[in-house]
Amino acid sequence: MNKLLYRKLSLDIIYFFLAASLSITLIIWVIQAVNFLDIVSEDGHSLRVYFAYSILSLPKIFSRILIFIFFISCFYIINKYEENNEILVFWTNGIKKISVINFILRFSILFIIIQLFLSLYLVPFTQNLSRIYLKNSNVDFLPSLITEKKFINVFKNLTIFVDSYDQKGNIKKIYINEKLDKNSSKIIVAESGKIQKKEDQFMIKLFDGSIINSNENNFYNINFKETEYDLSKFSSKTVTYQKIQQINSINLFSCIYDFYIKQKKDNKFCPRKIESITEEIYKRTVIPLYILILSLISSSLLIKPKSNKYLKYYKSFIFFVGFLTIIISQIGSKFITQNLINDVIVLSAPIIFVVIYYLTILFKTNFKLKYL
């Protein structure tokens, strides 16, 4: 009988967690997907690239909200059991409150494993994959981005201006400004041209114009009757360098090991400052451990009996403490320094909190509220 009760409790939490996660993830994903439209409207990528980039952001969204959804799920289900007197079935079957709390604590380990899998592997992998996919994709929508009498900045270090343009790709009076380096540039002016596509790469065929190359000291002009301007060498303006959130977790741990253990201060394989790397390690490994604390906080609803006249305020207080704990988990990385002792304390903070909070619950359940 006890196993059936625990099974029902765990399934209720899981069902609510899945429903809440799905709805909130979809809402956030739709909002982000709208923002990602810049990939098409400003950077010239195809809708295929846009949808792939958007879908690859789903693991990151789910990872960000998991800890919050877990707390809400536990809090809601335990409160529901209390309100509907379903929790009485546990007590009448001889199950002690500390036993239910221990079960929820053990049950939370499942969500910690899921969170660790997401933050350590899946999120960095999908984020880096989306970066590579975006970097290697062609700018497919160039013709639709060309607007008459408007400067187009689709590509990095390249500006295009056309006086008139039709649906067949024919251009009248075209201006192209290519920045070669810090002190030199190339300007192309042509009377007419046509946008063409060869082997999935765009190029512009130009007629009756001139090419002006300039630098700090001089410039020279070349006239032409017909020439081609290849756009394949240019990359999108979309940021495609690897961010720290996209770096493999093993590489980050290697940097931490080299810095703190081997005392290597100039590891060429660690492209970021050690504070940034430690902060990222904190986000990937320590934040998931706060799920243990949140399971204990939500379980605290079982301590006060339903007959307590201050129960409503107690529930509000428990919810506030849980919400505050989530905030603390997110800002904890700001206390990371290059001091090993300080960083160890920050990284081990959730374990310390779990021990203290559990001992407090153990004291209350054993000495004050053994039964309803």
pLDDT digits (tens, 9 = 90+) for 215-254: 766 777 888 888 888 766 665 555 556 778 888 888 888 8
CA dihedral 363→366→368→371, nearest 10 degrees, is 150
CA-nearest of 81, 69, 80, 82 to 108 is 69
Predicted pLDDT of residue 211? 84
- DSSP H helical segments within 175-238, as ranges? none
- Residue at a domain's end among 230, 249, 269: 230
Confirm whether 372 is domain-assigned.
no
| In a shared domain, residues 361 and 245 | yes
**Considering Cα of 93, then 97, then 99, then 100, what sign does the dihedral take?**
positive
Please name the residues in contact with 290: beta carbons below 8 A apart, sequence gap of 6 or more: 67, 325, 326, 328, 329, 350
Residue 330: inside a domain: yes
Identify whether 235 is part of a domain.
Answer: no
Higher pLDDT, 20 or 210: 20
Q: Are residues 35 and 113 in the same domain?
A: yes
Q: Is residue 236 part of a domain?
A: no
How far apart are the C-alpha atoms of 372 and 227, rounded to whole Å? 88
Cβ neighbors of 161 (< 8 A, separation 6 or more) are 149, 150, 151, 152, 174, 175, 176
Residues 133 and 147 in one domain: no
* Co-location of 160 and 183 in the same domain: yes
Q: What distance in Å separates the CA atoms of residue 43 and residue 145, rounded to the nearest whole number?
A: 9
**295 band by pLDDT with thresholds 50, 70 and 90:** very high
132 sits in which H/E element: helix 123-136
Same domain, 111 and 76: yes
Of the residues 211, 230, 249, the one at which a domain ends: 230
Reduced to 3 states, what is the DSSP secondary structure of residue 224? strand
> How sure is the predictor about 367, in pLDDT bands with cuts at 50, 70 and 90?
very low
Which residues are paired to 230 by β-bridges? 203
292 has a pLDDT exceeding 80: yes
Between strands 219-230 and 185-198, the pairing is unpaired
Residue 258 has pLDDT above 90, yes or no: no
Q: What is the pLDDT of residue 370?
A: 44
Q: Kindly state whether residues 246 and 361 are assigned to the same domain.
A: yes
Distance of CA 174 to the CA centre of its chain: 41
Tell me if 110 is assigned to some domain: yes
The boundaries of the domain holding residue 225 are: 142-230
Q: Residues 6 or more apart from 208 whose CB is under 8 A from it?
A: 190, 191, 192, 224, 225
Any bridge partners for residue 160, and if so which?
152, 176
Tokens, residue 27: 């809402």
pLDDT in tens, 7-40: 999 999 999 999 999 999 999 988 887 776 665 5
What is the C-alpha to C-alpha distance for residues 317 and 244, in angstroms, rounded to an integer? 37
User: How many CB atoms within 10 Å of residue 300?
Assistant: 21
Query: Is 112 within the bounds of a domain?
Result: yes
Is residue 149 included in any domain, yes or no?
yes
Looking at residue 264, what is its pLDDT? 66
Q: Which amino acid is at 159?
A: T
* Tokens linked to 17: 């967690």
245 in the same domain as 123? yes
Whether the predicted pLDDT of 65 surpasses 70 = yes
Q: How many CB atoms lie within 10 A of CB 65?
A: 15
pTM of the model: 0.74
Residues making up the chain, counted from first to last: 372
- CA-CA distance, 141 to 154, in Å (whole number)? 10
Beta bridge partners of 224: 209
Q: Are the C-beta atoms of 212 and 187 separated by less than 8 Å?
A: yes
Highest mean pLDDT (candidates 61-75, 82-96, 159-173): 61-75
27 and 111 in a single domain? The answer is yes
Q: How many domains does the chain contain in total?
A: 2
Domain match, 250 and 358 both: yes
Helix (H, G, I), strand (E, B) or coil at 349: helix
Statement to judge: residues 71 and 212 lie in one domain:
no
Q: Which two tokens stand for residue 88?
A: 């009485």
Comparing CA positions, the residue from 8, 2, 26, 3 lying closest to residue 77 is 8
CB 229 within 8 A of CB 174: no
CB 17 within 8 A of CB 109: no
Checking if the pLDDT of 80 tops 60, the result is yes
User: Is the residue at 320 inside a domain?
Assistant: yes
Q: Are residues 48 and 111 in the same domain?
A: yes
Among 230, 250, 270, identify where a domain stops: 230
Q: Flag the least confident range among 22-26, 260-264, 324-328.
A: 260-264
Which residues are within 8 A (CB) of 209 and not within 5 positions of it... i.e. 6 or more apart? 174, 188, 189, 190, 191, 223, 224, 227
Note whether 278 and 306 are same-domain residues: yes
Identify the pLDDT of residue 136.
Answer: 63
